[in-house]
Amino acid sequence: MQQYAEHGDQYIDGAWRPSGDPGSLAVLNPATEQVLATVPAGGAADVDAAVAAARRAARSWAATTRAERLELLTRLRDGLQAAQDEITETVVAELGAPVGFAAAVHAGLPLTVTTSYLTLLAEHSFEERIGNSVVHAEPAGVVAAITPWNYPLHQIVAKVVPALAAGCPVVLKPAEDTPLVARLFARLVHEAGFPAGVFNLVTGTGATAGAALVAHPQVDVVSFTGSTAVGRQVAETAGRGLKRVALELGGKSANVVLPGADLARAVKGNVANVFANSGQTCSAWTRLLVHEDQYEEAVTRAAEAAARYLPGDPADPQTRIGPLVNAEQLARVRGYIDGALAEGARLVVGGSEPVAELPTGFYVRPTVLADVAPETAVAQEEVFGPVLVILAYRDEDHAVELANGTPYGLGGGVWAHDTDTAAAFARRLDTGQVDLNGGRFNPLAPFGGYKNSGLGRELGRHGLEEFLRYKSLQY
């Protein structure tokens, strides 16, 4: 295990500089509850310096050619590839993600996404003719990227790489629970040779550094991923400055199994989906909807599948589910489980009791709940832990009603005997992305939500366009 240390500097204007704000943040290992490192608790002074650097770099970075940006982003991609083991180790340490999942997803997916933007940047047309007009796509300006802790490097890459590809300088404020992989990313940006001020990193709390960044008058675009409650605050603050806002927020996604589908495969896939990353995934299928005739069979199959997910040391390659990120999350998830049972839910597997074999660490038992009323909190609100709710529906109309019956609309799944049937049902769902019969994640497809799940899109062409503005020239 690599050694981490105290860090008193921020990455601003192309160099590591002492923080202008007092105080520090302790970074904990959620499996051991020990302090891994400390980082600066940046505030207004660091934000001002970072935004000023980005503003100074904005015009010259916007003027770079496609070939110049491609060369730098290719070096960054190569750096990410060379650092795969270091990324994996860092995410295991500060997030508690199981090492196999960390290598495949936390380290592997950012590499895939970065590579996808190299292809997209090489092919994208930044100009089109419409009638007697030529429409130019231009960089939208200085970008504030505020990222969460659950997929710390993926969310950084999903915002920073397309912003840089579009010609926008960036100030990144990562989540305070997982800043170490953000510092690693800043090091890779520096080693790739990006000009000073094009990328800047400020660590700190959301209430201080994040709020100062969103409100800063020299920020043009805010890209935020986090809770719906904080997303509303971000939108309100940014709206007062007429800034462009992209919000990727919470979810309460439904996985609907239609009659005739492969129930065994659908339930197994659902359990794997909701328990991945210890349930800390905004688009996780936290609600399994099955026809009432197959309800008890689905409950039994879910219990059998869930029994294979035993919490353990995330550094052990055999571990499939690690700890939650912090004590607050642990208390939150346990509270939802206890609340559901108090409201009449049936505990199928798991529960809120401590994991006796793991007295240290923020571990929760992977949990399956049946007989849950659709209007209760555990079926309506984002738990953000390994908790699956199973609901029964009478017919397809009832299934649509239940699936759409939350304030969210981020992800979802549909299983049917053929893809045409699954697609027809999916088109009735109020959600931004639906997987048909276990369809694979596509890094080129737009990712984002409806309703309280946010505004705007990430990934692929749509993610690039969040950082562009358009000028029409009439001839």
Residue 24, H or E segment: strand 24-28
- Per DSSP, the residues of 213-260 read HHH-TT--EEEEES-HHHHHHHHHHHHHTT-EEEEE-----EEEE-TT
Do the bridges between strand 133-139 and strand 127-130 make them parallel or antiparallel, or are there none, so unpaired? Answer: antiparallel
What is the distance, to the nearest Å, from the Cα of residue 425 to the centroid of all Cα atoms in its chain? 26
| Total residue count of the chain as it appears in this document | 475
**Nearest to residue 234, comparing CAs of 215, 250, 217?**
215
Distance between CA 461 and CA 467 in Å, rounded? Answer: 11
Characterize the bridge pairing of strands 244-248 and 408-409.
unpaired
- Helix axis angle for 295-306 and 263-275, nearest 10°, is 50
| Residue (of 185, 226, 177) closest to 205 by Cα position | 177
Q: How far is the C-alpha of 260 from the C-alpha of 415, rounded, in Å?
A: 9
Q: Which one from 168, 282, 382, 458 is the annotated catalytic residue?
A: 282
Q: Is the CB of residue 421 less than 8 Å from the CB of residue 396?
A: no
Contacts of 438 (CB under 8 A, 6+ apart): 265, 266, 269, 413, 415
Is 191 marked active-site?
no
CA distance 179 to 277: 18
- Rounded to whole angstroms, the Cα distance separating 388 from 369 reads 6
| Residues forming a β-bridge with 244 | 221
**Which of 163, 433, 398 is closest to 259 using CA atoms?**
398
- Say which residues have a Cβ less than 8 Å from residue 384's Cβ, sequence separation at least 6: 150, 279, 280, 282, 329, 332, 333
Q: How far apart are the first and last CA of the chain?
A: 63
Q: Which helix (H) or strand (E) holds 20?
A: none
Cβ-count burial 348-358 (b if 16+ within 10 Å, e if not): bbbbbeebeeb
- Reply yes or no on whether 248 is catalytic: yes
Q: Out of 248, 458, 465, 466, pick the active-site residue.
A: 248
Burial of 229: CB neighbours in 10 Å, binned 0-12, 13-18, 19+: exposed
Reading the block at residue 448, the tokens are: 């984002």
Residues belonging to the active site: 248, 282
